[in-house]
């Protein structure tokens, strides 16, 4: 019986800092196959691919098993929604039309089993750095996208993966437990509630950490962790939201 809704983010499929990328992809595909019998909806909350750019007539190589697993889910009746992150911004019409899913760039509000969910990758509402917000706007600018697409992929693909690896290795990891009371995501959630917009669950990715905390009297803020190191995901059964973990048989690492 299809009665569960699944949420996962930050798989970073294809990332150079994952030790065995093929094993990682197979682990994710095995998980997708394992939820096929009871999943009614699947939400991918961004950075599913470490890099992706669709040109008008061609698409990047790789991810065949993953896309096939998604297509089988969609063909079986599972509704799939992909909310783009900062690594997989440039999904245009190929994946939605080929797989049969919805792609959302930004925030999505969904009613799931009578509960109101606000879903976003986490960078669009949780980043305050001016440099980051500038890049966020630039990467979504149509003129910048056309200029980028004019560069041959032999240069752009390698550059994108090197940039991703450098950011991962030199960035400051957030190893704190929980989330600070003045965190931008917490402030965003509280502001949303204060404006009279009731949300039962705020669900984000991006931070690569797991959080499940109350916001207000009857709302919760969820950070999903990630799908390449923590191998965590969320599931909603109509009453409770819980964080679970994928059985990891791959040898991935940073």
Question: Do residues 160 and 168 make contact, with C-beta atoms less than 8 angstroms apart?
Answer: no
The pLDDT score that the predictor gives to residue 104 is: 94
Radius of gyration of the chain (CA): 18
The pLDDT score that the predictor gives to residue 147 is: 61
Pick from 205, 222, 170: which is nearest to 85 by CA? 205
Q: Specify the CATH number for the domain of residue 43.
A: 3.60.21.10
Question: Do residues 199 and 179 make contact, with C-beta atoms less than 8 angstroms apart?
Answer: no
Q: Is residue 123 part of a domain?
A: yes
Q: Is residue 253 part of a domain?
A: no
Q: Is residue 251 part of a domain?
A: no
Q: Is residue 190 part of a domain?
A: yes
Tokens 């999903």 found at: 224
User: Domain tally for the chain?
Assistant: 1
Q: Which domain holds residue 227?
A: 4-169+180-245
Question: Do residues 63 and 21 make contact, with C-beta atoms less than 8 angstroms apart?
Answer: no
Residue 181: exposed, middle, or buried by beta-carbon count in 10 A (0-12, 13-18, 19+)? Answer: exposed
Half-sphere exposure of 28 (CA within 13 A, CB side): 32
Pairing of strands 79-83, 102-104: parallel
The pLDDT score that the predictor gives to residue 221 is: 98
Q: Is residue 254 part of a domain?
A: no
pLDDT mean for each 10 residues of the chain (254 residues): 95 91 96 97 95 77 93 97 88 91 95 98 76 59 63 60 52 62 93 95 96 94 97 97 85 44
Query: Three-state SS for 122?
Result: coil
Question: Do residues 80 and 186 make contact, with C-beta atoms less than 8 angstroms apart?
Answer: no
The pLDDT score that the predictor gives to residue 133 is: 60
Q: Is residue 174 part of a domain?
A: no
The pLDDT score that the predictor gives to residue 199 is: 97
Q: How far apart are CA 163 and CA 78, in angstroms?
A: 34
Question: Do residues 46 and 84 make contact, with C-beta atoms less than 8 angstroms apart?
Answer: yes
Q: How far apart are CA 42 and CA 236, in angstroms?
A: 10
Q: Is residue 175 part of a domain?
A: no
What residues contact 99, with CB distance under 8 A and at least 6 apart? 67, 70, 71, 74, 80
The pLDDT score that the predictor gives to residue 92 is: 84
Q: Is residue 232 part of a domain?
A: yes
């Amino acid at each position: 019986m299809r009665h569960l809704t699944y949420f996962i983010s930050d798989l970073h499929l294809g990332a150079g800092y994952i030790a065995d990328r093929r094993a990682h992809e197979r682990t994710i595909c095995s998980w997708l196959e394992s939820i096929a019998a009871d999943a009614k909806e699947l939400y991918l909350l961004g950075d599913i691919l470490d890099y992706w750019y669709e040109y008008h007539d061609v698409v990047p190589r790789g991810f065949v098993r993953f896309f096939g697993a998604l297509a089988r889910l969609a063909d079986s009746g599972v509704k799939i929604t992909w909310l783009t992150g900062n690594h997989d911004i440039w999904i245009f019409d190929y994946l939605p039309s080929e797989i049969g899913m919805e792609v959302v760039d930004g925030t999505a509000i969904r009613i799931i089993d009578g509960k109101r969910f606000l879903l976003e990758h986490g960078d669009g509402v949780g980043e305050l750095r001016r440099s980051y917000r500038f890049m966020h706007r630039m990467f979504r600018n149509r003129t910048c996208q056309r200029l980028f697409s004019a560069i041959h992929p032999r240069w752009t693909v390698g550059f994108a993966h090197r940039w991703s690896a450098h950011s991962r290795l030199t960035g400051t990891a957030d190893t704190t437990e929980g989330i600070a009371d003045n965190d931008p995501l917490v402030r965003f959630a509280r502001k949303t509630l204060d404006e009279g917009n009731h949300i039962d669950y705020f669900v984000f990715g991006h931070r690569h950490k797991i959080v499940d905390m109350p916001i207000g009297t009857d709302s919760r803020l969820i950070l999903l962790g990630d799908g390449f190191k923590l191998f965590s995901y969320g599931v909603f059964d109509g009453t409770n939201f819980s964080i679970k973990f994928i059985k990891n048989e791959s040898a991935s690492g940073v």
